Structures are given as C-alpha cells and as structure tokens.
Amino acid sequence: MLLTGKTIAIVGGGPGGLTLARLLQLQGVSVQVYERDADRTVRQQGATLDLHEESGLKALETAGLIAAFHARYRPGADKTRLTDEQGHIYFDDHAHPEAPFGPGQYRPEIDRGPLRDLLIDALEPGTIKWDAHFLSMEPQGAGWQLHFRNGSHYADVVVAADGANSRIRPLITGIRPVYSGITIVEGNIYHAAKNAPNLHALVAGGKVFAFGGSNSIILSAKGDGSLSFYTGTGSQRTW
C-alpha cells in the first residue's frame, strides 16, 4: 500500500480529522492527530449535528461506528419550531411522529460532545497529541517538519483538518475564507430547565429557529440539560 511505513500527521481533532484517523487505522496506517485543545474536556462542545445518510452516517458506517452512534444519538432532537422574534410559532413539527432509526430517518441528531467522544474512544491509545497548536511546516527530505507551539515533529504526509481558518490551507491554495456577511455568536445555558425555563419549554428537546429582520437566534437542546444558542446578526458589509 502507498502509505505502508509512512507517518501520517492529521492536524486538527474535529469530526473530520478524527474520522479520517479511524479510517486510516482500520487500514493499518500509522497516524498521529495533533489537536490544539489542552485535553478532551477543556472546551465546551457545540450543539447537535444532524448526520445525513450519504455523508456523516456513511462515514461512521465505514468506520464501523454506527452501533456506537446509535447508542448516543438523540431521537427527537431534530424536532423544529420556526418562530418570529416574539416567539410566535409559525411551524411546529413536534406533532409529527418520530421516525425510527434507519432508512426513513435520514438526519438523526447527535450532540457534538458525544460524537467527538465516540470518535476519540475508537482510536488507538496515544493517537491524539493534545496541546499541539500547529504554527507552520516546511519540507524536509521526502516529507514535512511540522512546528507546534511546544515542539516539532516529522511526518511523511500531512492532512489539514484544522477547520475554517486552517493554517495549512494557504500552503495549498491562495483562496481565502470569505466573510458571509453574517456574524454568529455561540453560547450555552447550563441547567436550562432552571435557568431559562421559558426557552427550555419552547425548545421542547428539539430546535427553535427564530427570525426577526436580518437577525436570528437558533436554540438547540442538548442531552446534558443545557441549551445551546447561536445569535446571527446580518451586516451590510460585503467582501
């Protein structure tokens, strides 16, 4: 195999990097994930993700992790309400019956935290180097020397999985991320039933999309009893 005997560095331990690491390990490839987070618990993970049959679910199936997903996904988390800025409901699919898992329910939801946990737990021990903040890299021999805030490592092949503001992407393309004109701020309300009872009731275990003018709020219930929110603010600025 092309990758036999090679060292693969994946920079970024998000869902993309972790899934690729698992898939490569299933093929017997030597892989190291470099993640800037200090450890797996240091950061609050965001709201639920819906996984689609042809992409996220397919990747988990191929990675042999669909049973683990099934044990952690959140039936009903996809139930959506659309409201205006006053909370008046214009669409509500809580009345519709819950579709069973499998063909027919194409977009089951899972909290980002449990998804990340199941991917991390599927990797061989020591695969992830935490607290590895990538800074730069340069060619060395047939491979690359990677520099992190706290050290350097060699790899034959480097995979950029470091998200939207990737530090590696500029080495591959001059195309830069584009500001969409919408600024989103993410937050989390712990113990939502106690701390935000009205919002907790409105969300009812699912999601609320509230729109007013060019602004929006997305609320998403999480399995740990917290409530994730995204405030979206439109701007006139175009790039």
Ligand X SMILES: Cc1cc2nc3c(=O)[nH]c(=O)nc-3n(C[C@H](O)[C@H](O)[C@H](O)COP(=O)(O)OP(=O)(O)OC[C@H]3O[C@@H](n4cnc5c(N)ncnc54)[C@H](O)[C@@H]3O)c2cc1C
Q: Which stretch binds ligand X (CB under 6 A): 12-20, 22-30, 91-99, 170-178?
A: 12-20
Closest CB to ligand X among residues 49, 196: 49
111 binds ligand X (CB under 6 A): no
13 binds ligand X (CB under 6 A): yes
Nearest alpha-carbon partner for 51 in 23, 76, 73: 73
- Which of 59, 128, 137, 161 touches ligand X by CB under 6 A? 161
Contact code string over 30-49 relative to ligand X, x by CB under 6 A = ----xxxx-----------x
* Minimum distance from residue 36 beta carbon to ligand X (Å): 4
Nearest alpha-carbon partner for 57 in 109, 96, 93: 109
- Which of 25, 45, 50, 99 touches ligand X by CB under 6 A? 50
* Minimum distance from residue 5 beta carbon to ligand X (Å): 25
211 binds ligand X (CB under 6 A): no
- Which of 134, 144, 159, 227 touches ligand X by CB under 6 A? 134
- Which of 75, 143, 163, 225 touches ligand X by CB under 6 A? 163
How many CB atoms lie under 10 A from the CB of residue 69? 21
156 binds ligand X (CB under 6 A): no
* Minimum distance from residue 194 beta carbon to ligand X (Å): 25
List of residues contacting ligand X (CB under 6 A)? 11-17, 34-37, 49-51, 56, 132-134, 161-163, 167, 230
